[in-house]
Structure 1
Amino acid sequence: MSITLADARIVTPDGVHEGWITIEDGRFTHIGQGQAPRDGHGLAGRYVVPGFVDIHTHGGAGGSFPSGDQDQARRAAAFHAAHGTTTIMASLVTASLPDLARATASLADLCDDGLLAGIHFEGPYIARSRCGAHDPAKLRDPSPGELSGLLKAGRGHVRMVTVASELPGGLDTVRAAAAEGVIAALGHSDATYEQAIEAIEAGCTVATHLYNALPPLHHREPGPMAALLEDERVTVELINDGVHVHPAMVRLATAVAGPARTALITDAMGAAGMGDGTYRLGSMEVTVTGGTARLTEGGAIAGSTLTMDVAFRRAVLDAGLPVAVAAEMASLTPARVLGVDDRVGSITVGKTADLLVLNDDLTLQGVMRHGSWLTSP
């Protein structure tokens, strides 16, 4: 199958170009500027950006990844794909070890099938003082031995684990994860600046949803965020829904870390796309009001109802970032985190043809995954 998309504003790693793209057998084969050399599907000057890569998502459309239910996982992945996320990692939440192992083994089947790009453990190795919407009764001190068992359940598909490195066993667990090729992320943590530096030296390379569930920046006690932002080895996640993070703080993180180290995420839960009401995030009850998800008891923010097309659009329209910068943060940077940037994350000859067509106002008009339209523009 061959298709040429013409008369488009194509967002590549080099910037925005007016031109055309040819896709053959599910891959980008030609990218040119100006008029296409062959008849193609004219896009009337619309933007074409790479498919989004979401490395932190708990569900959507009523489907929950933490449930481990494969039908729910398929529903959630399809929902986010319709909103532009062509590569998605399933994030679990704090649960008992048997429940985590069961959900991990089930979701690993969907990783085998190529539906999911991996599995992320957000808990149980997090700080009680910063647990947010995680069940405090199920929190545990980090343990390399326990983690090893969970990794075996995932059959090589566990790609990330969030750890509060200051907890007993935290640094050893970070080292153990890194030794197994699993991304160690610092998050839901009360680490000091110095402890965060220790975690980075031990192998932490991601900041789980920067600003949220971490001590705030302070000029005398910089805390972990300063260490995470300033270290070139660390990529920081941002939940850009206007609830978790103010646009000024999106600009600040991007200015300090640069788009190559700043990844947009959704942190979406099953309520995404479902409207207001009562839902569950793991074992916790969540109430969604006006699109904001909070624990029914206590009111802590409990994930989001965000989709990546909205996160991308907000980065441009609310935070004021250039379209090419926002595309890097939503696609190429998270693809680098996962180690799949040789295949996805940018419109580059030879890569898988995952792309999105956007109107001038950056609303989503078309989604292509692996060279086939999920939604035709």
Structure 2
Amino acid sequence: MSDTTVFLGASIFDGDSRREHQVLVVTGGVVEAILPEGEVDPGWARVELDGGLIAPGFVDIQVNGGGGVLLNETPTVEGVRAICAAHARVGGSTALLPTIITDRPEITYAAIEAVAHAMAIGVPGCAGIHVEGPFLSQARKGAHEPAFIRPMGEEDLQRLVATDVRPLLLTVAPESVTNDQISRLSAAGIHVSLGHTDCDYDTAMAAFDAGASCVTHLFNAMSPLTHRAPGLVGAALDAPDVFCGFIADGHHVHPAALGAAIRAKRGRGRMLAVTDAMPTVGSEADSFVLNGRVTTRESGRLTLADGTLAGSDLSMVGALRYLMEEMGIDFVEALRMCSLYPAIYLGLRGRIGSFEPGARADIVHLNDDLGLSGVWIGGRAAR
């Protein structure tokens, strides 16, 4: 029996451009080719789609939880599995970085070990880990527990460098790390992102020169852009090689500010949609506990008791719809922000985020209303 399956009956977005009257050929769980409809081999298995569009599965570099599970509370392989399954099912995220936020060291490293094991046994959708904190600024702590925020020491650096998980994305604030530490982390293959920081423009640019390559949830929990003090926002938009994650849910960033940033960003393909999702995504529960504090969902917002935003209730397909319907972003560019660009940032282009030959066959099927009609990871239907 042939190990080849052909997906047909829908338009195809290959990661860069849209194609009509063609089919996607998958062999052994990887993309083999995109061919004209007339070249389908009758011996291939067929997945017949009723219109709409198939695209590379979404890639999310910041996912705190999903399906009722918060990684901080369940730093285990099963916790990782549940989070990945929920985001594939409801959001079309076929590759994501489970994200551990500021916590005790034993929780942080339990999460890293869980992700390492999950990747080793092939948990669908687990692509690495994002460690957000504890090396942040107290002044811009957001929902992070201030008791755990601290400067990075030599032992911290050595322990992070020694981990096996790659990609490993680490969010830090220049107030709590040195540029030498950023350089050493980057040299070890760790993706360093700036976030939860009150640093100014010059400090941010120096950190970028040292090896920081991204900004975590642009605009949120960072020094703002003003006309005489551009801050981290201004530095991120001005640095052409730096990537910017952003939360497109209408709560974290005003659409006018996000639109201005997208238009102003130097360097093509550097704006990345992220969810910063919490356990409510893919769950009917309207509250959860974060570092001992109750967080509540109301009207699409997640807040602590004092009103502080605490992550989001956003899925990646929701981010795609927001970018297109609320902000008027071109369909193709919005899709790239949700798949191709984050894959490029993680150094995984050719493996995820596009339908290049040899890439894993991660597929989302979107109907004409941008609803999610089907999800496949490695050619297998997600459950």
- TM-score class, shorter-chain normalisation, is over 0.9
Q: Does 1:339 align with 2:341?
A: no
1:104-137 alpha-carbon deviations (Å, 9 max, x no partner) = 2233211222322111110100000100000001
Contact 1:270 1:281 in 2 (8 A): no
Q: Which amino acid aligns with 2:164?
A: R
Give the aligned CA root-mean-square deviation in angstroms. 1.8
Measured after TM superposition, the shift of residue 63 of structure 1 is: 0.9
* Greater shift in the superposed pair: 72-81 or 36-45: 36-45
Determine the C-alpha separation between the residues in 1 that align with 2:276 and 2:186: 23
1:280-325 alpha-carbon deviations (Å, 9 max, x no partner) = 23443312222311112x2210001111111111111111112211
Partner of 1:161: 170
Q: Does 1:137 align with 2:147?
A: yes
Partner of 1:31: 34
Determine the C-alpha separation between the residues in 1 that align with 2:210 and 2:294: 35
Partner of 1:271: 280
Q: Does 1:73 align with 2:74?
A: no
Q: 333, 347, 372: which one pairs with 1:325?
A: 333
**Change beyond 3 A, Cα 1:44–1:122:** same
4+ residue runs of structure 1 moved beyond 6 angstroms?
Answer: none
Contact 1:17 1:33 in 2 (8 A): no
Contact 1:130 1:213 in 2 (8 A): yes
Contact 1:6 1:42 in 2 (8 A): yes
Counting aligned pairs with the same residue, the percent is 34
Contact 1:20 1:35 in 2 (8 A): no
Q: 295, 298, 317: which one pairs with 2:304?
A: 295
Determine the C-alpha separation between the residues in 2 that align with 1:269 and 1:131: 17
Q: Which amino acid aligns with 2:30?
A: R
Determine the C-alpha separation between the residues in 2 that align with 1:158 and 1:364: 27
What stretches of structure 2 of length at least 5 have no aligned partner? none
Measured after TM superposition, the shift of residue 275 of structure 1 is: 3.9
Measured after TM superposition, the shift of residue 8 of structure 1 is: 1.8
Determine the C-alpha separation between the residues in 2 that align with 1:174 and 1:45: 48
Aligned pairs, number: 372
Determine the C-alpha separation between the residues in 2 that align with 1:117 and 1:21: 23
Q: 247, 254, 257: which one pairs with 2:262?
A: 254
Partner of 1:234: 242
Determine the C-alpha separation between the residues in 2 that align with 1:282 and 1:103: 15
Q: 293, 307, 313: which one pairs with 1:284?
A: 293
**Change beyond 3 A, Cα 1:158–1:45:** closer
Q: Does 1:222 align with 2:230?
A: yes
SS at match of 1:89: strand
Contact 1:143 1:170 in 2 (8 A): no
Determine the C-alpha separation between the residues in 2 that align with 1:358 and 1:193: 40
Contact 1:174 1:203 in 2 (8 A): yes
SS at match of 1:260: coil
TM-score (norm 1): 0.93
1:263-282 alpha-carbon deviations (Å, 9 max, x no partner) = 11110011223346331234
SS at match of 1:357: strand
Measured after TM superposition, the shift of residue 76 of structure 1 is: 1.1
SS at match of 1:336: helix
Partner of 2:61: 55
Determine the C-alpha separation between the residues in 1 that align with 2:140 and 2:195: 9
Q: Which amino acid aligns with 1:32?
A: L
Measured after TM superposition, the shift of residue 356 of structure 1 is: 0.7
Contact 1:190 1:214 in 2 (8 A): yes
